[in-house]
A and B are shown apart, each in its own frame.
Chain A
Amino acid sequence: MDEALLRSLTPQVLAILVRRGADFAAAEDAVQDALVEAVRVWPADPPRDPRGWLVTVAWRRFLDAVRADAARRRREDLVDEEPGPGPTPSADDTLRLYFLCAHPSLTPSSAVALTLRAVGGLTTRQIAQAYLVPEATMAQRISRAKRTVSGVRLDRPGDVATVLRVLYLVFNEGYSGDVDLAAEAIRLTRQLAAAIDHPEVSGLLALMLLHHARRATRTAPDGSLVPLAEQDRGRWDTASIAEGVRILQAALACDRLGEFQAQAAVAALHADAPTAEETDWVQIVEWYDELTRLTDSPVARLNRAVAVGEADGPRAGLAALAALDDSLPRHTAVAAYLHERDGDLTTAARLYTEAARKAPNLAERDHLTRQAARLNTRADR
């Protein structure tokens, strides 16, 4: 059975139910039930019209739920005047669902969970496993999110930036369970790009594709991190890179630069370099200048300091770093790297150790500890 097809139909089916007058929360539950049913029935008995099948089953489930709740007269009326098949859902319907699930009244974790379920068609259990929380907790998070947005009207367009932030969060979570969240984020961003013509949507999609292309080379078989300069570039996914570059170029041609396009441009320059030594660091610095102008993000400034260190030498990088708040995440790690490049191995080793203590994740901590150990055990001490 084609699970990707099944899941890609989720937002359309949900939109049809909402259009027929079902409230969002009940419709969403009904669509989930229909998806579960499809997984059970389709392998033996595939429907000719998958979407029609899902709409029929979901609508029936919705009606069952309404009938079970006979006290709610308004919905009973709805049952009596059962509508016809209804209009075909448009790209706008899908788009409204994205906006609703990323609504600013939701916390980031709630928006992520609701998007994965209502737009992505993942089950609560899959989402819970991906985020390593109990299923009951995730179920509550989702039903709370649905309550939060239940009063939001679906007819007004939202701010696409809120949707992009949610998709970026999903992508960045990587893959910890059975569900590949990075791949899922790419699928959802692709679907969004098909529904709306916006250079930042393209920028985010390009960014994801360009990073995804390097994924297999970012970790060694033992799980340790492989820095960009040491990755086996022959194993980068060239098709994914080509697609990312093409999408980015089309987006940049619109001349409406945004943070995701600028980040994707940096990723494209890395992807474009046949060897680490051939990286065009001068251009990368320019893109980080654009990025800091657009976002004033401290992380962008930190990355800029690294790029300056490569383009103009470690002293210049350290000077750029000195202007930044040293409590920034990874500030110490960058300082260690630049000091090592500058030949001050004793300071570098001390800073690597300090950076390891502050590392936000295990793989980075181990990587930084190894770097410190490498310098501490060198032959010429």
Chain B
Amino acid sequence: MAKYLLLKHYRGAPEPVNNVPMDQWTPQEISAHIQYMNDFAAGLEKTGEFVDGQALAPEGQWVRYDGEGRPPVTDGPFAETKDLIAGWMIIDVDSHERAVELAGELSAAPGAGGKPIHEWLEVRPFLAAPPTVTECPH
């Protein structure tokens, strides 16, 4: 029982095998891709492993504090930002192996030519609550 984030990137991930941008797919291929994602989430719900799935707009702003009484400073978006997150799936699974298995399945979503994209997904474990029994001697 551990939660993992399966992270999709617009930019920053290694190149996928089937590397054709989505706007050059056929409409049917796009529909097939979306259907695959929806089915994947529905499947996770059935197995009792689904926690959350969200997509993010490709462009956002950078914001930071600018001192007492001043409005926050905004900047960007920057075209050169290397790591651009597209969305995520959060799963609650029995093992790390299961998280990897599911990420592999998600990465098989079809793209151009109806063939799997082989997209690289980042699998990140959540930092959970500390267990009750493990004492911390240090």
Interface residues of A (CB under 8 A from B): 107-110, 112-113, 131-134, 136-138, 140-142, 144, 168-169, 171-174, 176, 182, 207, 211-212, 215, 225, 227-229, 263, 270, 306, 330, 333-334, 336-337, 340, 359-365, 367-368, 371
| A227-B132 contact, Cβ under 8 Å, with A134-B51, A137-B48, A361-B127 | no
CA distance A336 to B137 in the complex (A): 11
CA distance A173 to B136 in the complex (A): 16
B67-96: which have CB < 8 Å to A?
92-94
Q: Is the CB of A171 within 8 A of B138?
A: no
> What total of chain B residues lie within 8 Å of the partner, measured CB to CB?
27
Q: Is the CB of B45 within 8 A of A137?
A: yes
Q: Is the CB of A229 within 8 A of B130?
A: no
| Residue from A109, A137, A228, A361 within 8 A of B129 (CB atoms) | A361
Chain B residues with CB under 8 Å of A211's CB are 132-133
Chain A residues with CB under 8 Å of B54's CB are none
Q: Is the CB of A228 within 8 A of B136?
A: yes
CA distance A225 to B49 in the complex (A): 30
Q: Is the CB of B128 within 8 A of A361?
A: yes
* Residue of chain B at shortest CB distance from A362: B127
| Residue from A131, A168, A215 within 8 A of B1 (CB atoms) | A131
Interface string of B20-60 (1 = CB under 8 A from A): 00000000000000000000000011111111100000000
| A132-B3 contact, Cβ under 8 Å, with A229-B137, A367-B136 | yes
Q: Does B14 contact A (CB under 8 A)?
A: no
4 new A-B pairs (CB below 8 Å) besides A172-B133, A371-B138? A108-B94, A112-B1, A361-B128, A362-B128
Is chain B's interface secondary structure helix, strand, loop, or mixed overall? loop
B93-107: which have CB < 8 Å to A?
93-94
| A363-B130 contact, Cβ under 8 Å, with A108-B1, A173-B1, A333-B138 | yes
B112-138: which have CB < 8 Å to A?
125, 127-138
Interface residues of B (CB under 8 A from A): 1, 3, 44-52, 92-94, 125, 127-138
Q: Is the CB of A171 within 8 A of B45?
A: no
Q: Is the CB of A173 within 8 A of B137?
A: no
* Residue of chain A at shortest CB distance from B98: A107
Q: Is the CB of A110 within 8 A of B127?
A: no
From residue B130, how far is it (CB to closest CB) to chain A in Å? 5
Chain A residues with CB under 8 Å of B1's CB are 108-109, 112, 131, 169, 173
CA distance A364 to B136 in the complex (A): 8
Q: Is the CB of A109 within 8 A of B92?
A: yes
CA distance A176 to B93 in the complex (A): 18
| Most A C-beta atoms less than 10 A away, residue of B3, B50, B129, B130 | B130
Q: Is the CB of B132 within 8 A of A360?
A: no
Q: Is the CB of A137 within 8 A of B3?
A: no
